[in-house]
Amino acid sequence: MKFTSRHSATRHTAAVFGVALAAAALTGCTETAAGGDDAAAAGACEPSDVTLVGQVRNESNPYEASWLDGGDAFAEQVGLTQERLTYDGDSTRQQEQISQLLAGDTECLVMNILPNGDSDTPPIVEGAEGAGAYLVTQWNKPADLNVTDYDSWLSHITYNGVESGKQIGDALAEAIGGSGGIIALQGILDTGAAKDRFAGLEESLAANPDVELLDDQTANFSRAEALEVTKTLLTKHGDDVKGIWAANDDMALGALEALQQAGRTDVAVVGIDAVPDALTAIEDGTMTATVSSDGPWQGGIGLAIGYCVATGELAVEDIASDDRAWYAEQFLIEQDNVADFAAPETDEADFACDNLFSRSQGAIS
């Protein structure tokens, strides 16, 4: 993504993928899961033999759709196509899709996966390890599941949810003048993102003691559920509600719809993800703040890591331990800098094999 705001990450000069990769003297792939571990160790795939797969919950969530779009952009960059998979937030369906992938040709298979919840990650990891497929996961994993214990699980990327939850909590507190009642819309509770973001809100509340959390309920990261939950909470708490903290933008947008239906224009709303509708709402002043994790970059970077290892440009053993499970950079967006994020683009240099970890903010502790 190309950002020009003061929040932008420093970009490292890097060569773009191209002829050098295609011309590398690499061994072709064959269809055998049993040989997968050897391929994972050796990077034995011709670039043209690599299969790229991105999997998210659904494309109705603009953030997740942008993730898959970023995967398409990377695939085009290296002369391939990405298989786009969605599982509608159904863990069983997610596991079935991955099982089908792993039952086929896995030796040059690269998967960039959003596990539905923390508990969904272990079977995905074990399946990929057994089949020798190259795996990158994002957002959700159990804290005691260690990437460095595996060969095929190359990297796990997440964001400091405590930080982003506090950032939007502080922005909300400022928007309501430092005091008043707020309600919180939580995400899917079996996800690290939801847990961490709410912990960040709790830190913000501790730092802003005159802001009162009137109520919190889960709306499962869903705009439709957030609409209904917000209606209920507005009826319950009435004019005491001065602000709404939402763990993602889809829920924030559902809350904005409920406020519009209730004729309320006096309530500040914050979210996370920087989806287009949220950016528009921030620009026109109906929403206060969001945080960007750069969905298009996420969609590309997971595939790029797998591709670089699969083709031998990067060896698993050469990935620093801090880059096997790491926090990536995120950006707070408010009205004064929203224009910088309105038209995100993927940057080919971000996906170069010698630049894959340039957005790292450190290892997950």
Q: 77-89: per-residue pLDDT in tens? A: 999 999 999 999 9
Give mean pLDDT, residues 342-364: 92
Kindly indicate the confidence band of residue 344, based on its pLDDT and cuts at 50, 70 and 90.
confident
346 pLDDT band (50/70/90 cuts)? confident
As a whole-number percent, the residues of the chain with pLDDT over 90 amount to: 82
pLDDT above 70 coverage of the chain, percent: 88
**Which range (1-5, 58-62, 247-251) has the least confidence?**
1-5
Which of 18-32, 154-168, 241-255, 289-303 has the weakest average pLDDT? Answer: 18-32
pLDDT at 123: 98
Q: CA 254, 255, 261, 267: dihedral to nearest 10 degrees?
A: -150
Q: Given a cut of 90, is residue 18 above it in pLDDT?
A: no
Q: Quick one: DSSP state of residue 35?
A: G
Order of strands across the sheet that contains 268-270:
211-218, 180-186, 241-246, 268-270
- With 50 as the cut, is the pLDDT of residue 92 above it? yes
- pLDDT tens, residue by residue, 313-342: 999 999 999 999 999 999 999 999 999 888
Report residue 140 as tokens. 């959700």
Residue 42, pLDDT > 90, answer no
The pTM (predicted TM-score) of the whole model is 0.78
Closest Cα partner for 46 from 18, 22, 19, 74? 22
* Terminal C-alpha separation, the chain: 26
Tell me what the pLDDT averaged over the chain comes to. Answer: 89
CB burial of residue 336 (10 Å; 0-12, 13-18, 19+): exposed
Residue 8: pLDDT band (50, 70, 90) is: very low
